[in-house]
Amino acid sequence: MAEVLLPRKMEIANDPSKFGSPDPLHVLAVDDSHVDRKFIERLLRVSSCKVTVVDSATRALQYLGLGVEEKSVGFEDLKVNLIMTDYSMPGMTGYELLKKIKESSAFRQVPVVIMSSENILPRIDRCLEEGAEDFLLKPVKLSDVKRLRDSLMKVEDLSFTKSIQKRELETENAYPVHSQLKRAKI
Amino acid sequence: MDLVQMQKSLQDYTKSLFLEGILDGQFLQLQQLQDESNPDFVSQVVTLFFQDSDRILNDLSLSLDQQVVDFKKVDPHVHQLKGSSSSIGAQRVKNACVVFRNFCEQQNVEACHRCLQQVKQEYYLVKNRLETLFKLEQQIVASGGMIPAVELGF
């Protein structure tokens, strides 16, 4: 499906004003360390991301509406594009948070990146197996954050593009001048 | 001392901290994240580090002074200190924490006491040096000057 959409991407990129531009990436950062929270927040802001920082996995779940007592009501509008979490945290670890996110229907598609100061291969493997997008060694570098942002922007751009094309198709079905050609392409 | 002299002093002082291994490249990363929109970023992060570290060192002293040392409590504290010192580039504190953690693993109480002393020593050293660095910076800013970017020619 992606292969069909790609050739159209260029057209739309040339005239984004017609459809507005995508919002900045919203990143939820989770870390129990004050120092690291301040640091990651700055790294993300410098990379033009919107940032929400929390100090525990429990608070992260509360923020997402996945807390024990809460239902995901009213959280459909919450747009989180990336979750970055420390691995070693008191109470719930980043790994446990990862699992909970992947278990939720609302947020399982959100990429989760694990950060750790320890380069332990079995830990890295476990996280990746559980569906982590990436595993970053602390201290995290600005280049790591930019790389993540760039790869996510491509995905966002693609899904943004898909929604534009869906709208275009709907419009053209109402005014079927070129609809024959379009159907042949897809 | 005129502005140019102050700026040179600051540069030399900063360089010496790197040459002595008290600070590492991570500190440079912090400085690069500072700009006109966030002119106090480095000192803010470092202040958080001081606050966290004071608390952790206090907790560690208490934990190690117990009749029966609970290493399940000691190790996470050392891990935390290792993490935050690494995040600000306090290399010698971080290295001292690595040694400390090894002895925690071995549950060697005596060695851990020695390690705590070592960590404290390194911490007070970097704290003292950074406070001096910030004072030098403040003097420059107060004189209407700019903080020169660090040039590391080694």
> Is A139 within 8 Å of B76 when comparing Cβ atoms?
no
- Omega before A139 within 30 of 0, i.e. cis: yes
Report yes or no for ipTM above 0.90. yes
What angle separates helix A94-103 from helix A121-129, to the nearest 10 degrees?
10
pLDDT in tens, B12-58: 999 999 999 999 999 999 999 999 899 999 999 999 999 999 999 99
pLDDT in tens, A54-113: 999 999 999 999 976 655 555 667 889 999 999 999 999 999 999 999 999 999 999 999
Instruction: Residue B47: list chain A partners with CB under 8 A.
Output: none
Mind telling me how many Å the CA of A58 is from chain B's nearest CA?
19
- Considering only CB atoms, A38 lies closest to which of B48, B80, B83, namely B48
Residue carrying the six token digits 């009749």: B67
pLDDT in tens, A141-178: 999 999 999 999 887 676 666 777 777 777 766 665 55
Taking the model in full, what pTM does it have? 0.82
Long-range contacts of A138-143 (CB under 8 A, 24+ apart): A138/A36, A138/A86, A138/B83, A138/B86, A138/B87, A139/A39, A139/B26, A139/B29, A139/B86, A139/B87, A140/A39, A140/A40, A140/A43, A140/A115, A141/B29, A142/A43, A142/A46, A142/A47, A142/B29, A142/B32, A142/B33
Mutation target vs B (from A34, A35, A119; most B CBs, 10 A cutoff): A35
Q: What is the mean pLDDT of chain B?
A: 94
Mean pLDDT of A123-152: 96
